[in-house]
Amino acid sequence: MEKKAVKNIWMLSREYGELAGAGGVKDVVYQLSKALACLPDYSVKVVLPYYGFMEDLVDDFVPVKDPFSRARSLQLSIPMNEPGRLVSEPVSFCYARRENVHIYLIKALRFTEKRSVYTYTKQEENGWKKLAAGHHDYFAMNLLLQKGALELIIALGEHPDVLHCHDGHTALVPALVRELAGYRTYFRKTRCLTTIHNAGLGYHQEIADIDYARAITGFPDEVVANYQLDAKFDPLLVAGAFAPVNTVSENYAFELQHSNGDQLTGWLGHEFNKRGILLEGVTNGIDPDYFSPMADSIEEELRFDPADPQEELAGKDNCKKRLFQDRRDLVSYDGVQRFGCLSASPDGPLFTFVGRLNEQKGVDVLLEVLPMFLLQYPKATFAILGSGDLAFESRLAELAAAPVTAGRICYFCGFSPELASLVYRAGDYFVIPSRYEPCGLTDFIAQLYGSIPVVNHVGGLVKVVDGVTGLAFNGATPDALLGGLQRACALEQQLPIKREMQRRAVEIINKQYTWSKVVYNYLDLYARK
């Protein structure tokens, strides 16, 4: 297969680091971009929308100047046609360089009126704009980002070696640069890669209005007709036909193409198989320094090093005491509402969960298991941080207040980075009962903070080596999860083995999964034609 060196890389994403995020995509795009930018002679640019919540995050950004008239800002008109109607939308751009990464934000009313990356907030709620519901114009937002990015590149006279597209939100770019006459010539030497961070139903960014899809994309009829899944025009299916495509772990790629787990994607992987599309797998990396329990930002008495075999983890014990004691009088913390509190004497194992409360994450299974598990193990406690399904939030609040489990469960409703860090650092075990997990970053984070992951061995979670770097069970069922939790409690009677598991987990991350190593897997994909 033909390969060539690549040096000029453009990332297109709806999320990026602390600027905009709703999940793990923000971390991957940010950390991969940083790792690439550290390589000699590499230039990395990232393009994402300028959302309405960004005002306080972009003080260092400046308007992009028009290359033909430096006295004015660059403003472009992007074709956004509708059926039977020619439409265009004005956009402008701003720019900053952070950590050697060049970041461009696309400013347009369609973006600035949004107060969250993917869903409506309470601030926006009215009539048809329902709280937590996805943006009604999601497909148009995605097209404006993709076309706006391509037009920006042309206006700046840039010639990317690679356009790296993240998820269904930007997955039409490989087809746009091959099918539309205005782009085909300019980008004839540019390669594309699409990374699928989550192929689950609801993540494809598909659209059922075929006429609208044809009009706004500008694609020929045959493209819109030939790349449909369940009678919907599917960007992920399009991406696989026009450029290499990968997902974020080798095992998730295998599951999608060779197991019944693909039913959770609407059989996208099997459709790839039918069309001869190879789905690659590259397990995400992580930046250990970003999740170090020895960081200067952490109070000295709360620091510890799970990688040091001589370390007794007194700092972790102090983190647990801090979580148990200092939060007892708080109804809310950093915008997060607290339900219940933990007993003042943390002499048993603390199990933790940080993440979205939905069925994909297996939260329904966790809720079923919690009461019986806590009844079996009177010293075990649970600290849970997250939000999502309102029924799950209500049930957790009930369990935290119920007499039989009071003092054993603390539920923090919402999210706070500072609180999340404390929960990770305080925990003995981190529970991940996900039904599917493309890669999983929370297991990495937990391990770096000395918390042993207890995982359903699916997707990217198979990187947790059972009995070596964590504990694994098979199947998102109450019995399987209960078995995993019971094994964790048994490990409390084998503290030298537990301590070695904590140490080994960090060692393996540093040997295999840092972005400085994983980045070369992406360079290999970039070089493929």
Interatomic CA distance for residues 444 and 462, integer angstroms? 12
Residues 230 and 271 in one domain: yes
Query: What tokens appear for 264 in the block?
Result: 């959770």
Do both 213 and 236 map to the same domain?
A: yes
Give, rounded to a whole angstrom, the gap between the first and last alpha carbons of the chain.
Answer: 7
Which tokens is 437 given? 């997990």
13 in a domain, yes or no? Answer: yes
- Between CA 205 and CA 331 the distance in angstroms is 38
Pairing, β 191-196 against β 101-107: unpaired
Phi first, then psi: what are they for 419, rounded to 5°?
A: -70, -40
DSSP per position, 99-167: TTEEEEEEE-HHHHT-SSSSB--TTT-BTTB-TTPBPTTHHHHHHHHHHHHHHHHHHHT---SEEEEES
Is residue 1 included in any domain, yes or no? no
Same domain, 234 and 89: yes
The answer as to whether 170 is a domain residue is yes
Q: Is 497 found in the same domain as 396?
A: yes
- 52-67 burial by CB neighbour count: b if 16+ within 10 A, else e? bbbeeeeeebeebeee
Q: What is the dihedral of CA 293, 294, 299, 302, to 10 degrees?
A: 50
Q: Do 276 and 380 lie in a common domain?
A: no
Q: Are strands 452-456 and 75-79 parallel, antiparallel or unpaired?
A: unpaired
Q: What is the pLDDT of residue 122?
A: 84
Interatomic CA distance for residues 459 and 286, integer angstroms = 17
| 246 contacts 195 by C-beta, under 8 angstroms | yes
Asked whether residue 241 falls in the same domain as residue 344, the answer is no
Residues 44 and 186 in one domain: yes
Q: b/e string for 171-199 if b means 16 or more Cβ within 10 A?
A: bbbbbbbbbbeebeeebeebbbbbbbbbb
User: What are residue 454's DSSP bridge partners?
Assistant: 431, 471
529 residues of the chain, pLDDT tens digit each: 445 577 999 999 999 999 998 888 999 999 999 999 999 999 999 999 999 999 999 999 999 999 988 899 999 999 999 999 999 999 999 999 999 999 999 999 999 999 999 999 888 988 888 887 899 999 999 999 999 999 999 999 999 999 999 999 999 999 999 999 989 999 999 999 999 999 999 899 999 999 999 999 999 999 999 999 999 999 999 999 999 999 999 999 999 999 988 898 999 999 999 999 999 999 999 999 999 999 999 999 999 999 999 999 999 999 999 988 765 556 666 678 999 988 766 689 999 999 999 999 999 999 999 999 999 999 999 999 999 899 999 999 999 999 999 899 999 998 888 999 999 999 999 999 999 999 999 999 999 999 999 999 999 999 999 999 999 999 999 999 999 999 999 999 999 999 999 999 999 999 999 999 999 999 999 998 7
Alpha-carbon distances, residue 361 vs 87, 118, 364, 386, 454 (angstroms):
41, 19, 8, 11, 13
pTM: 0.92
CATH code, 171: 3.40.50.2000
Go through 242-262 and write b for each residue having 16 or more CB atoms within 10 A of its CB, e for each that does not.
Answer: bbbbbbbbbbbbbbbbeeebb
Of 271, 163, 194, 289, the closest CA to residue 226 belongs to: 271
341-367: b (≥16 Cβ within 10 Å) or e: bbbeebebbbbbbbbebbebbbbbbbb
Contact (CB, 8 A) for 515 and 509: no
Considering the domain boundaries, does residue 497 fall inside one? Answer: yes
Indicate if 327 and 280 belong to the same structural domain: no
Q: Note whether residue 154 is domain-resident.
A: yes
**Is the residue at 248 inside a domain?**
yes
Contact between residue 313 and residue 294 where contact means Cβ atoms under 8 Å apart: no
Q: Are residues 354 and 433 in the same domain?
A: yes
Number of H helices, E strands in the chain: 18, 22
| pLDDT recorded at residue 331 | 66
Specify the pLDDT at position 24: 85
Question: Do residues 437 and 461 lie in contact, with contact meaning Cβ atoms separated by under 8 Å?
Answer: yes
Same domain, 355 and 232: no
Contacts of 391 (CB under 8 A, 6+ apart): none
Q: Please report where in the chains the tokens 């040091």 appear, as a residue.
A: 308
Amino acid identity, residue 196?
Answer: I
Amino acid at 46: V
Q: What is the pLDDT of residue 1?
A: 40
Domain check: are 98 and 136 in the same one? yes
Distance between CA 401 and CA 389 in Å, rounded?
19
223 and 365, same structural domain?
no
The residue range of the domain holding 507 is 288-512
Residue 2 lies in a domain: no
Label the pairing between strands 245-247 and 191-196.
Answer: parallel
Tell me, yes or no, whether 281 lies in a domain: yes
Residue 378, CB half-sphere, CA atoms under 13 Å: how many?
Answer: 0
For residue 32, give Cα distances in angstroms to 41, 221, 357, 508, 513. Answer: 16, 36, 27, 19, 12
**Total domains in the fold of the chain:** 2
Model pLDDT, residue 335: 75
Task: Provide the CA 15 distance to its chain's centre, in angstroms.
Answer: 9
Question: How is 476-517 classified by DSSP, letter by letter?
Answer: SSHHHHHHHHHHHHHHTT-HHHHHHHHHHHHHHIIIIIBHHH
